[in-house]
Every structure is written in structure tokens, then in C-alpha cells.
Amino acid sequence: MITRRIFAACSICSSFGLIAASADAQAQSTGSGGVRRNILARGDAPDSKYEVVQMIIDIDANTDVPRHTHPGFESATILSGQGELYIEGRSDQTMTTGNMYLIPASTPHGVRKVTSPLRIAATYTVEKGKAILTPAPG
């Protein structure tokens, strides 16, 4: 269960990420296979080994996102579309517009059964210097 302190810290980090991004920074877009990630902002969390990365993720209909992990906490809100989120150790969740989800660091998860294109606003508070996404076995 996420405590209020952790949630508040993530909210502060998210706000910091918006402020820390330089005004002239260009969005970085990556992706393939029906998944596109557009990095909107990136900045160091104060006095820590973490950075905050904010992005928009677009997932095409009939696309699966294989199991993967992040080297930190993920917080996201579904802007549009529908699919199924699976997180190791939890029941599957239907992703629909307006839903929010929180995924602890290093927890395998993925997306499947995307029935209409998903658009997700995601914030990652991750360890500096590590890949944001790492494939997970299984």
C-alpha cells in the first residue's frame, strides 16, 4: 500500500520535474512496434540519486507491451483508450480514461488487450544513469 508520505514525495518530485526541465529542451521521442514514448521533461530530484522523467506514451490498438521493470517508481494517468495492465502480484486492471496507477520500483508489469489506442501521461522517479525500461523475464 502506498503511504501518504510516498505519494506526497512523488507529487513533489513530479512538480520538480516540470520546473527542472529547461525551457528550450526538445521533446525526445522513441518507440517501435506500436509503442511511442515522448519525453516531455527530465530533471534531477534534489539531493538524491534519482531523476524525474515525464512522458506521454502512445500504444496502438492490438499492441502488447511485454513484461518490463523500471529502476524506480512509476505513476501514470490514462488520458484516453482502453487496455489491460498486469502487475506482478496484483490482479489485472482495466485501463480506461481517467484511471491512475502506481507501480513500485523493479516490479514486473506490462500491457495487453489494447482495444482502443492508449495515451498515457507517465512520471518516473528513477535512478540516474540507468535505463528507464528493462525487459523482465517471464
How do the pLDDT tens digits run along the chain, 138 residues long? 444 444 444 544 444 443 344 333 344 556 668 999 999 999 999 889 999 999 999 999 999 999 999 999 999 999 999 999 999 999 999 999 999 999 999 999 999 999 999 999 999 999 999 999 999 987
Domain map (residue ranges) of the chain: 4-130
Q: Grid coordinates 534519482 are at which residue?
A: 50
CATH topology for the 4-130 domain = Jelly Rolls (2.60.120)
Burial 53-71 (b: 16+ CB within 10 A, else e): bbbbbbbeeebbbebbbbb
Q: Give this prediction's pTM.
A: 0.77
